[in-house]
C-alpha cells in the first residue's frame, strides 16, 4: 500500500513520495531480503512494478509540465 500520503520527511524533489514508496517496496521485497540481490537488480527483474510505473509516469508529467512552460515563454 503506498505510504506517500502519510507523515514523512519532506523530500522536496518531484515525485518524492512515490520515490520513497518505491525504495521501501524494493528494500522490503523477498528479492532483496531473501535472495540478497541489490534493489537495482530486483527492479530490473520486475519487482514493485506498479510503483515503478507510477514513479515514471509522475516524472514524465513533471517533464511535460516544464516543457509547456519553456515553449510558452518563447512566444
Per-run averaged pLDDT (10 residues), the chain, 75 residues: 54 83 96 96 95 92 68 57
Q: Which three cell numbers stand for residue 36?
A: 540478497
**Of the candidates 24, 67, 17, 58, which has an alpha carbon nearest to the alpha carbon of residue 42?**
24
State the CB neighbour count (10 A cutoff) for residue 22: 23
Give the single-character DSSP code of 55.
Answer: H
pTM summary value: 0.70
What sign has the CA pseudo-torsion 17, 3, 24, 45?
A: negative
Task: Determine the Cα–Cα distance for residues 40 and 9; give it in Å rounded to an integer.
Answer: 23
Per-residue confidence (pLDDT) for residue 54, from 0 to 100: 94
Domain residue limits, the chain = 16-62
Per-residue confidence (pLDDT) for residue 27, from 0 to 100: 96
Residue with grid cell 516524472, as numbered in its chain: 59
Amino acid at each position: 500500500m503506498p505510504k506517500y500520503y502519510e507523515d514523512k520527511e519532506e523530500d522536496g524533489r518531484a515525485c518524492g513520495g512515490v520515490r520513497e514508496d518505491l525504495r521501501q517496496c524494493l528494500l522490503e521485497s523477498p528479492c532483496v531480503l531473501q535472495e540478497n540481490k541489490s534493489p537495482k537488480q530486483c527492479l530490473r527483474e520486475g519487482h514493485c512494478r506498479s510503483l515503478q510505473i507510477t514513479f515514471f509516469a509522475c516524472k514524465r508529467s513533471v517533464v511535460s509540465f516544464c516543457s509547456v512552460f519553456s515553449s510558452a515563454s518563447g512566444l
